[in-house]
Structure 1
Amino acid sequence: MKRSDIPSLDDLRAFETVARLGSMRAAADELALTHGAISRRVAKLSRDLGITLVTPEGRGIALTPDGDLLAQATQQGLSVIGEALSSIRDKEGDAPIVLSCERSVAMRWLIPRLSQFQDAHPHIPVHLSVGGGSLNFAKDGVTLAIRRLDFAIDPAWHVQTLLHEEIGAVMAPEMSATFRSGDYIGLGSKTRPDAWTTWMNMHPDSPRPKDIRLFDHHFLLAEAAASGLGVAICPRIVVSDDINKDRLVAPYGFVADSSTYGLIFPAKPGLSDSEKKLLGWIESVFLTISNVEVDVLE
């Protein structure tokens, strides 16, 4: 085939995504296009080549033998292009890495430590955005994302486990006597309204709050607790610095719940060297969370 006969890269990329995900709709979501646009690009590619590439199968598609052969070649080609672009970005040294993070984790854990990475790697700019739940990396312009893994994971993503979450009841040191008497307000998050019930089931002999009030975010809970407004159920990662500074105490320690935090990014084209350095640093700082000591009631 002459170079002038090679189909459009946009059409090939659309086909590769459909082949990888097995669905026009899933491909449209990943590429931030409409279902119709994806369908038209795949149909055009098929016409240009004069072969059938996909056939309907249930709610998705199946590859023909020719389609499977082209999918493998296209995936390899796009991977090579992606690696070359990553190398170019690394040489330029000025393409920012966009790191998306859960709001409370960003404010109470990541931001206070991010200068460590920037001091060690001043040539690697990192832009921080906040967000939670699922995302579209291409549409949102995100490189890496730190997330609580409580949503469906796209098979096109790579997931690096960072932390199995622990929760605990935290309060200002001067609230300890009030807590033991049971004359206190329980503070909870609207994102996890059952946290107090879960914690009390784990600690059936603990003093019960006389009332429970909900806040929008855990970073607000932590600050409210440190200000003496009540006793908050918070993730360890959100309050570990306050415990180290004696702004908060956790008399019952922390217990694991069923949730996990992870670092996610598109599996293809993979990470550049700069992005790998940021990933390694994130993993290292998350490991320090378990080193926070707490004084537990005997």
Structure 2
Amino acid sequence: MRRSEIPSLDDLRAFHSTARLGSVRLAANDLALTHGAVSRRITKLSEDLGFRLFEKSGRGLRLTAAGEALNLTLVRFFAELATTIDSLRATDPGRNAVVLSCEPSVAMRWLIPRLANFQSAHPDIALHLSVGGGPVEFRRDRIDLAIRRLDFALPEAWHVQRLFAEKVGPIMSPQLAPAFAAGDYIALGSRTRPDAWSHWLSAHPSVRRPAEIRYYDHHFLVVEAAAAGLGVALSPLVLATDDVDRGRLIAAAGFDPDGSHYGLIWAGNDELGDNARTLAGWLHEECRQSFG
């Protein structure tokens, strides 16, 4: 086979994931693609190779004989590729670096202001910060650890350590406290949690309702808007704790647990290196000091 005839790696991954999980839908979730994208890649691969890879089996799919043979080869190929990459990374002198992924608002409002302390205590560890939310592509993005709000399904193989309980409450500049008490205020919310205000107000019937609710794209924008006096923001404690401690913002009704948690996660097949363990220990201590 000439190099030009070798199928696309993306198409092979779509096929292999579908064969491994037994479902195009599950493969789409695994690859962070749409159902249609995975189906198109499998169809294209079948057309490029000139033979069928799957056939109908009741309401599901099963591999053809040719598909089974191809998948067995891909199992060995991807396993050998992963082993080679891990071996090369282990001998890379730059691997003393640790890559931490964190949700953008938490990174900006809580983590970054504390990272100078980590670097001062561990100057030999090169910490790289990546921002993102939801599922994590540890191997693809070379991420060692991730901080996430645990509000999405996690693979069973992943390691998860809880960091702190999520608490939310209304925050505002001190000048807006009388307006909040009187119900003469604009509520500020994040589009990432559009129902947060309605849930909070239902749980606090004694609080006066706002004149209106306005939404921003991200929580860190909501907090800054509250500090600028634009309204009363419903904010997670993790994003407001420093400003509340400094008196820049006040939390007139306190913060209540919403039932969710933030956690530190890493890929289940990977053992944490010494530097990643050091970072994990530091994060736990910082969370203990911030949230008890």
- Whether these two folds match at TM > 0.5 is yes
Q: SS at the partner of 1:145?
A: strand
Indicate the residue corresponding to 2:170 in structure 1. Answer: 169
The residue identity in structure 1 corresponding to 2:164 is L
Indicate the residue corresponding to 1:150 in structure 2. Answer: 151
Indicate the residue corresponding to 2:6 in structure 1. Answer: none
The residue identity in structure 2 corresponding to 1:152 is A
Distance 1:195 1:215 in 2: 13
Q: How many residues align?
A: 259
TM-superposed CA distance for 1:24, in Å, is 8.3
1:220 matches 2:216:
no
1:290 matches 2:288:
no
Counting only pairs closer than 5 Å after superposition, residues 85-234 of structure 1 correspond to structure 2 as 88=91, 92=93, 95-234=96-235
TM-superposed CA distance for 1:191, in Å, is 0.6
CA spacing shift, 1:208–1:278, aligned 2, 3 Å: same
CA spacing shift, 1:165–1:215, aligned 2, 3 Å: same
The residue identity in structure 2 corresponding to 1:214 is Y
Distance 1:271 1:197 in 2: 41
TM-superposed CA distance for 1:287, in Å, is 1.6
Distance 1:78 1:284 in 2: 37
TM-superposed CA distance for 1:197, in Å, is 0.8
Deviations 1:242-273 (A, max 9, x none): 00110011111110002221111111121111
Distance 1:167 1:235 in 2: 4
TM-superposed CA distance for 1:125, in Å, is 0.8
Percent of matched pairs sharing the same residue: 46
Deviations 1:167-203 (A, max 9, x none): 0011111111111111110000101111111111111
Question: Contact 2:164–2:291 (CA<8 Å) still a contact in 1?
Answer: no
Distance 1:270 1:78 in 2: 18
Q: SS at the partner of 1:175?
A: helix
Q: SS at the partner of 1:154?
A: coil
1:235 matches 2:236:
yes
The residue identity in structure 1 corresponding to 2:172 is M
Question: Contact 2:99–2:145 (CA<8 Å) still a contact in 1?
Answer: yes
TM-superposed CA distance for 1:86, in Å, is 7.5
Normalised TM-score (structure 2): 0.73
TM-superposed CA distance for 1:31, in Å, is 12
Question: Contact 2:150–2:261 (CA<8 Å) still a contact in 1?
Answer: yes
The residue identity in structure 2 corresponding to 1:190 is R
Q: SS at the partner of 1:268?
A: coil
CA spacing shift, 1:241–1:217, aligned 2, 3 Å: same
The residue identity in structure 2 corresponding to 1:202 is A
Deviations 1:100-148 (A, max 9, x none): 1111000000000011111111111111111111122222332211111
The residue identity in structure 2 corresponding to 1:234 is S
Question: Contact 1:148–1:262 (CA<8 Å) still a contact in 2?
Answer: yes
Give the unaligned 5+ runs of structure 2. Answer: 1-12, 47-55, 64-74
Question: Contact 2:99–2:130 (CA<8 Å) still a contact in 1?
Answer: yes
Indicate the residue corresponding to 1:7 in structure 2. Answer: none
CA spacing shift, 1:83–1:138, aligned 2, 3 Å: closer
The residue identity in structure 1 corresponding to 2:274 is D
The residue identity in structure 1 corresponding to 2:167 is E
The residue identity in structure 2 corresponding to 1:273 is D
Indicate the residue corresponding to 1:246 in structure 2. Answer: 247
Indicate the RMSD between aligned Cα atoms, in angstroms.
4.0
Give the unaligned 5+ runs of structure 1. Answer: 1-13, 41-55, 62-70, 292-298
Indicate the residue corresponding to 2:69 in structure 1. Answer: none
Distance 2:264 2:102 in 1: 9
Normalised TM-score (structure 1): 0.71
Question: Contact 1:165–1:256 (CA<8 Å) still a contact in 2?
Answer: yes
TM-superposed CA distance for 1:95, in Å, is 4.0
